[in-house]
């Protein structure tokens, strides 16, 4: 290759034409795409293949009705520290699919067609990922709030995962199906109680109820994480030496509720127990440096928990271009 001298650079017209990168004339502007990439992402935990799906989001309508034990300025300060717009806090929904090699296991169902326009994207994202809902063997439910169960059944009544066994925590089942408990619940839960009936009544005989500490599917163990709901469960997903904890709603958005575990989410049904189990599980994740994922963590929602001060930081795992 000749030296890149000024003479060489100026070169001859013939050389420039032969290798030209330059357009002689302007051309029409490319249209904007206007479309986001599909919301799914894959990673491995040992031999297991995990796929996270985004099911959409909801804007928080009123900050001090979302965090119920803090003044507005304290909530806004935390948002500012994490560069979250104070007037546009979004809670995402991110169900998890684990292929164990012998079973396709979905954790929580998303909304299906039962949510608002910004919700219920999982089935579309599953299609983009080449996953047939009919191929799902097991749906494990962390708890019975609508964003985690509504998508088990379409609004018209049909099952979205028609070949899947549905597994739920025995304590969660016991509370929501006990009229003497649910009749004492605050009015805000009335719609949720009706939704539980809509989803589960037609299949009540067949729902598998599990105890904490039990292995549900090879490698997948339920963990006591009560407080957010009466029978809320987390899960350890283990293959070989690798582990992932799915904490479901042990914390909602990590920039708020992991950073400040004492901030109380409106939907924490037994707040003191929720706080106790939040600290217990986040301490465990930090001590073991265990990979974790949370339903309301920013997509793709996988990372690590570190203790800092009186709270915890979420460190997203680096996105990987290959599995």
Can residue 65 be called a binding residue for a copy of itself (CB under 8 A)? Answer: no
Neighbour tally for 83: CB within 10 Å: 7
300/94 Cα distance (integer angstroms): 8
For the CB of residue 64, give the shortest distance to a copy of itself in the complex, in Å: 21
47/239 Cα distance (integer angstroms): 6
Can residue 161 be called a binding residue for a copy of itself (CB under 8 A)? Answer: yes
Interface size with a copy of itself, residues (CB under 8 A): 100
Among the listed ranges 123-131, 221-229, 234-242, 244-252, the one in contact with a copy of itself (CB under 8 A) is 123-131
Long-range contacts, stretch 194-200, CB < 8 angstroms, 24+ apart: 195/114, 195/146, 195/149, 195/150, 196/144, 196/149, 198/153, 199/149, 199/150, 199/152, 199/153, 200/149, 200/176
Among 63, 129, 185, 236, contact with a copy of itself (rule: CB under 8 A) = 129
Q: Residues 248, 299, 156, 139: what is their CA dihedral angle, to the nearest 10 degrees?
A: -40
Can residue 241 be called a binding residue for a copy of itself (CB under 8 A)? Answer: no
Can residue 184 be called a binding residue for a copy of itself (CB under 8 A)? Answer: no
159 class by beta-carbon count within 10 Å (0-12 exposed, 13-18 middle, 19+ buried): middle
φ, ψ of residue 22 to 5 degrees: the values are -105, 130
60/52 Cα distance (integer angstroms): 23
- Interaction residues for a copy of itself, span 33-52 (CB under 8 A): 33-42, 49, 51
Can residue 317 be called a binding residue for a copy of itself (CB under 8 A)? Answer: yes
Among 45, 67, 70, 92, contact with a copy of itself (rule: CB under 8 A) = 92
Can residue 191 be called a binding residue for a copy of itself (CB under 8 A)? Answer: no
User: Which string of b and e fits 273-283 if b means at least 16 CB within 10 Å?
Assistant: bbbebbbebbe
> Which DSSP letter does residue 189 get?
G
Among 71, 77, 201, 218, contact with a copy of itself (rule: CB under 8 A) = 201
Among the listed ranges 155-163, 220-228, 265-273, 277-285, the one in contact with a copy of itself (CB under 8 A) is 155-163
Among 205, 213, 241, 309, contact with a copy of itself (rule: CB under 8 A) = 205
Can residue 152 be called a binding residue for a copy of itself (CB under 8 A)? Answer: yes
Q: Pick the closer one to a copy of itself by CB: 40 or 210.
A: 40
Can residue 218 be called a binding residue for a copy of itself (CB under 8 A)? Answer: no
Can residue 320 be called a binding residue for a copy of itself (CB under 8 A)? Answer: yes
Characterize the bridge pairing of strands 242-248 and 311-316: unpaired
- Interaction residues for a copy of itself, span 270-309 (CB under 8 A): 289, 298-300, 303-304, 306
Q: Pick the closer one to a copy of itself by CB: 213 or 241.
A: 241
Say if residues 165 and 185 touch (Cβ distance below 8 Å): no
Q: Pick the closer one to a copy of itself by CB: 41 or 210.
A: 41
- Interaction residues for a copy of itself, span 246-275 (CB under 8 A): none
For the CB of residue 221, give the shortest distance to a copy of itself in the complex, in Å: 20
Instruction: Match 């293949």 to its residue by tokens.
Output: 49
193/188 Cα distance (integer angstroms): 10
Site map (CB under 8 A) of a copy of itself, residues 6-35, x = contact = x-xxxx-x-xx-xxxxxx--xx-xx-xxxx
């Amino acid at each position: 290759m000749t030296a890149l001298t000024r003479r060489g650079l100026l070169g001859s017209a013939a050389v420039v034409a032969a290798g030209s990168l330059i357009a002689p004339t302007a051309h029409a502007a490319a249209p904007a795409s206007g479309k986001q990439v599909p919301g799914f992402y894959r990673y491995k935990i040992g031999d297991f293949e995990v796929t996270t799906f985004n099911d959409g989001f909801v804007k928080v309508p009123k900050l001090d009705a979302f965090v119920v034990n803090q003044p507005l300025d304290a909530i806004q300060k935390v948002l500012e520290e994490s560069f979250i717009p104070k007037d546009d806090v979004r809670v995402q929904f991110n169900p998890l699919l684990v292929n164990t090699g012998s079973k396709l296991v979905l954790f929580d169902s998303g909304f299906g067609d039962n949510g608002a326009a910004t919700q219920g994207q999982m089935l579309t994202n599953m299609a983009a990922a080449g996953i047939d809902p009919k191929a799902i063997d097991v749906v494990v439910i962390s708890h019975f709030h609508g964003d985690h169960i509504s998508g088990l059944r379409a609004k018209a009544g049909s099952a979205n995962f028609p070949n899947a066994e549905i597994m739920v925590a025995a304590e969660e089942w016991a509370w929501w199906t006990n009229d003497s408990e649910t009749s004492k619940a605050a009015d805000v839960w009335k719609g949720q109680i009706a939704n539980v009936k809509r989803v589960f009544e037609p299949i009540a005989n067949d729902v598998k109820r599990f105890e904490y500490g039990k292995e549900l599917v090879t490698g997948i163990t339920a963990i006591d994480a009560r407080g957010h709901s009466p029978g809320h469960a987390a899960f350890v997903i283990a293959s070989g030496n690798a582990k992932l904890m799915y904490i479901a709603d042990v914390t909602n958005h990590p920039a708020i509720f992991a950073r400040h575990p004492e901030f109380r989410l409106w939907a924490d049904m037994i707040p003191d127990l929720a706080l106790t189990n939040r600290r217990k599980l986040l301490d465990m994740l930090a001590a073991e440096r265990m990979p974790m994922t949370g339903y309301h963590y920013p997509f793709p929602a996988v990372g690590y928990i570190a203790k800092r001060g009186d709270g915890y930081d979420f460190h997203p795992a680096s996105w990987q271009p290959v599995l």
